Amino acid sequence: MSSASVRRFMASLSNCPSLKHGVSQWCPQSSSLTRTQPSSSIGFRTFRRSYVVASSAFANENREFVIVGGGNSAGYAARTFVEHGMADGRLCIVSKEAYAPYERPALTKGYLFPLDKKPARLPGFHTCVGSGGERQTPEWYKEKGIEMLYGDPVADIDIEKQTLTTNSGKLLKYGSLIVATGCTASRFPEKIGGNLPGVHYIREVADADALVSSLEKARKVAVVGGGYIGMEVAAAAVGWKLDTTIIFPENHLLQRLFTPSLAQRYEELYQENGVKFVKGVSIKNLESGADGHVAAIKLEDGSTIDADTVIIGIGAKPAVSPFGSLGLNSTVGGIQVDGQFRTSIPGIFAIGDVAAFPLKIYDRMARVEHVDHARQSAQHCIKALLSAQTHNYDYLPYFYSRVFEYEGSPRKVWWQFFGDNVGETVEVGNFDPKIATFWIESGKLKGVLLESGSPEEFELLPKLARSQPVVDKAKLQNASSVEQAFDIARSSLQG
C-alpha cells in the first residue's frame, strides 16, 4: 500500500467519532478501502502521477485534499497543511471569489475608510496577517504547490464517487474534503426593493468596492441592522462626513450581547458623531426614485427615511448548499460535526462559520460566525486530520469590534468580549473611555466585556472567562474604577 493510500486509510479510521454531542455514529465504509491500489513498491510521487494520467477527466490535479471555500478558514487550513508538509502537490482550494483568502473583518472596518484616510486594500490583509502570520498572497499558494481554483464555486457533490462539480462544469476529485463555505449575507426580498441600485450587502471584496463607490457619491446613508455590521459601517460613514441613520427593530444596539445600559453608552457616542437612530421599527419596503435608484426606506408605521445609499446588515446564513446531505443541525444551522470537525460522512469535514460543533466549555451545540473561530477551527481540524491529535476542540467564545479608527478620528473605539453573556451583570466605569461589564451566574464569572482597556487587562479576559471563578458581586459593584474591578476579578483567580 502506498503512503498516500495509508494516509487515506488512517484518516478514515480516525473519522470514527465519539458518541458525544449527538453527532451520528459511523465507521469507515468498505468502499473507502476498495479503490484501485497501486503496488506497494510504487512511491507516493510516482503513484500520484500515474493516478493523474488515469484520471485525466478531473480538473484538479491535486485531489488528495480539497478545501471548498476561499475565506479565512481556507487560508488558515492551507497554512496548517504547509506546516505539516502536506500541501505541495496534494492540496486544492476551490473558491467562488477571485481573490486568495483574506481577513474578512477588514471589509467593514478599514476597507471602508475614506480614500484620504489610508483605507485597507489587498494584498495588505490577506490571511494570515490578522493573527500575526505570513501574508499568503496568490504567489504564496503557488510557491507552496497549492492548486487554487478561483471564481468557480462548487455546485454539486457525489459522495459515493468522491467528486465535486463546479458551476462551470469542472469535475474535481477528492480524497479528504474540507467544507469551509462560510456564510452568505441575509438579503431583503427583491419584491420589497432588496436588489435596487444603491442597496448594498457586504460579504466579499466586490461588495465592499461597490459600497465605497456609492459612499463617494452619497449624501444620505441608511444602515439597516444594529449589530456588528451596522455599527462598523455607520462608523465608517461618519468618516466620510455623511448624513447617517441606523435603523433596527430591537430596542438597542447589538441586543444579542450588549446590556441596555452598555448599548446606551455606545449609542450616545454615535449620536455625538452625528449618527441618528430609528429603533424598534419594521421596514415595509425600499423605494426607488425616478431613475430607479434607491431613494427612501418606508417603515411599517407609514413614515419614510430618505437615503441614496442603503447598507443591509441583518445577519448571515450558513452556505450549506450543495452540502445538505452531510447532515445539518436544525437548531443552530450549518453542517453538524464532532469535536474534530468530522461530519457524518467518512473523510468529509466542515470548519468555520458553516460548522455546527460541540461547544465543550458550555456543553451545547453552537455555530460561531467569527474570525477567531474561523482560524482556530481550521487549525484544529487539519491537525486532527494529519497528525495524532485526538483531543476535542475546546473553544472559548470571543467577539470584538473596532470602530472610528480612521485617521483624524477624535476617539478610537475597541472592545473585546470573552465567555458567555448569561446571568446578572455588573457594569463598572463611565466610558471615558473605559468601561467593563461582568456577567455573573450562580456566583461565577461567566463573561466579561472591556472597552479601551490596557494590553494587560485584555490578556486577563480569556483567563477569567475560561476559569469562571467565584467572584464577589458586591465588591465588583462597589469598585471605583475599571482597574479596581479587574484587581478584584484577578484576585478571584487566586482564591
Sequence spans of domains, the chain: 3-184+317-386, 190-314, 412-494
Third-level CATH fold of 412-494: Enolase-like; domain 1 (3.30.390)
Q: Which residues contact 331 (CB under 8 A, 6 or more apart)?
A: 356, 365
- Give Cα 482 to chain centroid, integer Å: 30
The DSSP result for 119-136, as a single string, is ---TTTTBTTGGGT----
Class of domain 3-184+317-386: alpha beta
The set of cell numbers assigned to 439 is: 456577567
Predicted TM-score of the model (pTM)? 0.87
343-366 pLDDT, tens digit per residue, is: 999 999 999 999 999 999 999 999
What value does the mean pLDDT take over residues 217-221?
97
Each residue of 126-135: pLDDT tens digit?
999 999 999 9
Q: Is 34 exposed, middle or buried (0-12, 13-18, 19+ CB in 10 A)?
A: exposed
Q: Is the pLDDT of residue 115 over 80?
A: yes
**Distance (Å, rounded) from C-alpha 12 to C-alpha 202?**
38
Give the tens place of pLDDT for each residue, 358-398.
999 999 999 999 999 999 999 999 999 999 889 999 999 99
Gap between the Cα atoms of 226 and 438, Å rounded: 22
Residue with cell 474578512: 104
In 60-137, alpha helices (H) = 72-83
Assess whether the region 3-184+317-386 and the region 190-314 belong to the same CATH fold. Answer: yes
- CA nearest to 65, candidates 146, 175, 160, 217: 175
Q: What Å distances lie between residue 442 and 143, 425, 467, 472, CA to CA?
A: 54, 12, 14, 11
> Does domain 190-314 sit in CATH 3.50.50.60?
yes
Statement: residue 104 has pLDDT above 70: yes
Instruction: Using alpha carbons, select from 362, 361, 336 the residue that is nearest to residue 350.
Output: 336
DSSP state letters, 341-391: -B-SSTTEEE-GGGEEEEEGGGTEEE---SHHHHHHHHHHHHHHHHSS--P
Grid cell at residue 3 = 503512503
Residue type, 177: L
Q: Would you state the pLDDT for residue 46?
A: 31
Over 70: is that where the pLDDT of 14 sits? no
Q: What φ, ψ does residue 85 adopt, rounded to 5°? A: 65, 30
Grid coordinates given for 78: 492551507
Closest CA to 102 of 81, 83, 75: 75
d(CA 159, CA 179): 13
**Using CA atoms, how far apart are residues 39 and 46, in angstroms rounded to an integer?**
11
Mean pLDDT within 488-493: 95
